[in-house]
Chain A
């Protein structure tokens, strides 16, 4: 196979997999005569989506807003926390057990607590999205800062560099690949957080829509909700993956860039 054909296959392959999956699903439902309230066929799900597209899009937009707001807060807080942990050994040692403990708590368990503090609705969804998304960002920024070569620090310190110089000239740029990698993980977690909060305590959002659909036995509509979440997840992930590629080409040593030899 030529490399050009191989690249074409790589681009087409995800679509092939999805198509095969959906066709198999449809065939199985038809052939085995599975009832729609157990497992609806893809066409039934699509019909449910088209039928309810107005409310679905409205709820999806609500979920997207909650997710993005929570995620934005998560980025702000995560970066700050990561910088603090990454630049001070003492803070790192002190905060580490607390952070691990916090990260071990299933966030579903604290949604009722958030409802108590923030009430039913969007603030709770934003808070849950935030709580799930900041952790990977903080850890990755801290890791990036910790991987600065000690020799380079010596070189800069012997030039009279301040802590801020080290952070802005070396530490943060060095941490960027880690940061962008963590964004891809965090945006997905933010979606999970928002939808969890909506299923527990909200009158809007895809999570709420799915809960309603389930209580009315409108299983195709529930699945339509699942698909909408998955698609939003994939699209946001792709957007951040693209930003990552643009911003940190140096970290992957620009595989498509030309390499000089000799010397």
Chain B
């Protein structure tokens, strides 16, 4: 499989001072159709990584390339979903889903003439996440889990080649979260879009991803890469598999270590001052 997303020695600095370095020397590569997860202690620059890959931010040094092209500005082949569902409260669910189609070319130009076809596509997507009965509801009439399903649909409606997820299930209760892992996995298994999932939840990473990147404390860089070779489709049973627990355990230790190093470094800086 060819490389789809690649970061070569990438650094990101929000301003000139050394202390605002968010990422430093990050290198990672993700193959086309792969599901990658990025985990790390809080404040390790995971969200900065999202902004770099999607081109919303330019790297200070190093190269970011997607689909063989250097990223120079916002990409147009991306779907994004965040922890906050950010559905538009004045639009009904179906019309919320269609929002990306009103913006992305070539759909934008075709939407008026081929409306039925697109509505059908949105309905199909709603059906896969079990929301087909709710297309006429306003988002605020739905529970948090339902809103997040809709958010996921919205990020997929234009069939992006790259899906970026920033802790999409972070605000949900444990049961809803695990249910949505299954939903996301089954959509991904049929469509095979390249996915980058940023998360705090190690079980979530191990359940969903083909490969897990572990990042260090700020300034972030990739300190370990773990392939997850568990068979798919994975289920909640899989999470009790000794091999699964092994992976989660190993990553947990690595993060504990970088957190301690981070704390020690911070203490040293304080003393020096």
Interface residues of A (CB under 8 A from B): 149, 151-152, 154-161, 165, 169-170, 173-174, 176, 248, 250-251, 253-254, 257-263
Contact = CB atoms under 8 A, between A and B. Distances in A.
Contacts of A262: 143
A154 B81 CA distance: 10
Contacts of B82: 151, 154-155
A254 B145 CA distance: 21
A259 B146 CA distance: 13
B141 A260 contact: yes
Contact of A154 (B51, B103, B105): B51
Contact of B80 (A158, A173, A248, A251): A158
B141 A155 contact: no
B171 to A, nearest CB: 12
A106 B67 CA distance: 61
Contacts of B78: 158-159
B227 to A, nearest CB: 28
Interface stretch (B84-92, B205-213, B234-242): B84-92
A37 B134 CA distance: 66
Contacts of A173: 88, 90
B134 A158 contact: no
B180 to A, nearest CB: 11
Contacts of B56: 154, 157-158
Nearest to B143: A263
Given A159-B100, A170-B88, 14 more contacts: A154-B54, A154-B56, A158-B56, A158-B74, A158-B164, A159-B78, A159-B103, A160-B105, A161-B103, A173-B88, A251-B89, A260-B134, A260-B142, A263-B143
Contact of A263 (B76, B84, B140, B146): B146
A165 B90 contact: no
Contacts of A263: 142-143, 145-146, 176
B84 A149 contact: yes
Contact of B86 (A152, A254, A260): A152
A169 B103 CA distance: 9
Given A159-B78, A159-B100, A159-B103, A250 B143 contact: no
A159 B158 contact: yes
A173 B88 CA distance: 9
Given A169-B99, A173-B90, A262-B143, A155 B137 contact: no
B173 to A, nearest CB: 11
Interface string B137-160: 110111101100000001100100
A250 B138 CA distance: 8
Contacts of B75: 158
A257 B146 CA distance: 18
A188 B41 CA distance: 54
A260 B103 contact: no
Interface in B36-50: none
Nearest to A168: B102
B33 interface: no
Nearest to A156: B103
A228 to B, nearest CB: 38
B153 to A, nearest CB: 13
B104 interface: yes
A173 B138 CA distance: 15
A160 B138 contact: no
B140 A253 contact: yes
A158 B55 contact: yes
Nearest to A165: B103
Given A160-B74, A169-B102, A260-B143, A155 B90 contact: no
B90 A176 contact: yes
Contacts of B154: 155
A149 B76 CA distance: 20
What 7 A-B pairs come out closest when comparing CB atoms? A160-B76, A152-B86, A263-B146, A151-B82, A263-B143, A158-B78, A158-B54
A176 B76 CA distance: 29
Given A160-B74, A260-B141, A155 B155 contact: yes
11 contacts: A154-B82, A155-B154, A158-B54, A158-B78, A160-B74, A173-B90, A248-B90, A250-B90, A260-B137, A260-B146, A261-B143
Interface in B113-143: 134, 137-138, 140-143
A151 B142 CA distance: 20
A151 B105 CA distance: 21
Nearest to B90: A250
B83 to A, nearest CB: 8
Contacts of A165: 102-103
Contacts of B80: 154-155, 158
B125 to A, nearest CB: 16
